[in-house]
Structure 1
């Protein structure tokens, strides 16, 4: 497994880097021996070290976790512990679904993901208010929309710690969205598009 360790405005020493690489390799291989790569980013926020950890274990499955601690080693170890818990839960789901092939989701199609700047809170001049506000794109990246079941989409969202996920429903063949509700439950949006006949 290829491991990338980065420090954001901090210097990651050789000892910490070696600890991260060895611990990740040992921790992930306990559950999956075909993980492709991992990335760990450490930064400093006020009095703590913040660790962002992401592991790509193949088949479009990404597992992410983060943690904070005053000690950089403890910060990473806590994030890795959360990664291992997610991998353990994922492997248990694979076994309960009678085999790994059930979660080998296909790529439905590729898409572009954008980050938009928020609408300014200040009142706009009257001349500008007449025109519709257009959000400014501040970041752009590629995104893969998987072809999978609702259960698999929820699992992927959970593993990646995402607030929502769009997917191509392998049963209905339509674009769906699952998301986390404020009450702790999972929401599922399944658009129903009614076809209307055009009048001659």
Structure 2
């Protein structure tokens, strides 16, 4: 992320600048395309103000926070921005999901917990509602529900399969052996 840091009524500090850049770099995982951030750090009497404007990836996000400490103002404004980015991405994901031909059922892939307590040694029983579909449709459903796995019945083999999101960003498919 390209970052420009401006200081008003405060001495420019490389440590503050690198602190802001480190905090902003964590937003790169939320943004698909490169973004630009302009940060204004200012002091007015005893108030330390951090203003951040992020543009790019078809979104514009602004945040402002003032406290008695510059580092806490930066942390608080970064938390605000993270909430705004997540909310915006969720809104885009919901819109994208409503346009497609495949609609996610609210019950598909979610587990209903029958036993609430999870004491040591006690087995927690869950039931999962699954429906017949092929693996490609299961991957699309997994993206729509934004979960880590999806249990479904393979329409070709009539067996229960699990599709899951791997750490490397790809998808995995678990099939039973006959």
TM-score, normalization by structure 2: 0.52
**What is the CA distance between 1:42 and its match in structure 2?**
0.8
CA shift for structure 1 position 15: 0.9
Q: For residues 96-155 of structure 1, what are the alpha-carbon distances to aligned partners after superposition, in whole Å with 9 as ceiling and x for unaligned?
A: 1126x9xxxxxxxxxxxxxxxxxxxxxxxxxxxxxxxxxxxxxxxxxxxxxxxxxxxxxx
Q: 4+ residue stretches of structure 1 with deviation over 2 A? A: none
How many residues are paired up? 99
> Is residue 2:75 matched to residue 1:77?
yes
SS at match of 1:98: helix
Q: Structure 1: which 5+ residue stretches go unaligned?
A: 102-200
- Asked if the contact 2:32/2:57 (under 8 Å) is kept, the reply is no
Question: Unaligned stretches of 5+ in structure 2?
Answer: 100-178
| Aligned residues: CA RMSD | 1.9
* CA displacement, residues 53-91 of structure 1 (integer Å, 9 cap, x when unaligned): 0001233x2100000111111111111111110000001
Q: Distance in 2 between matches of 1:38 and 1:71?
A: 21
> Are the aligned partners of 1:48 and 1:70 in contact in 2 as well (CA < 8 Å)?
yes
1:146-165 equivalence runs, <5 A: none
Equivalent residue, structure 2, for 1:18: 18
Q: Is the 8 A contact 2:9 2:44 kept in 1?
A: no
Q: What's 1:68 paired with?
A: 66
Structure (1/2) with the larger strand percentage = 1
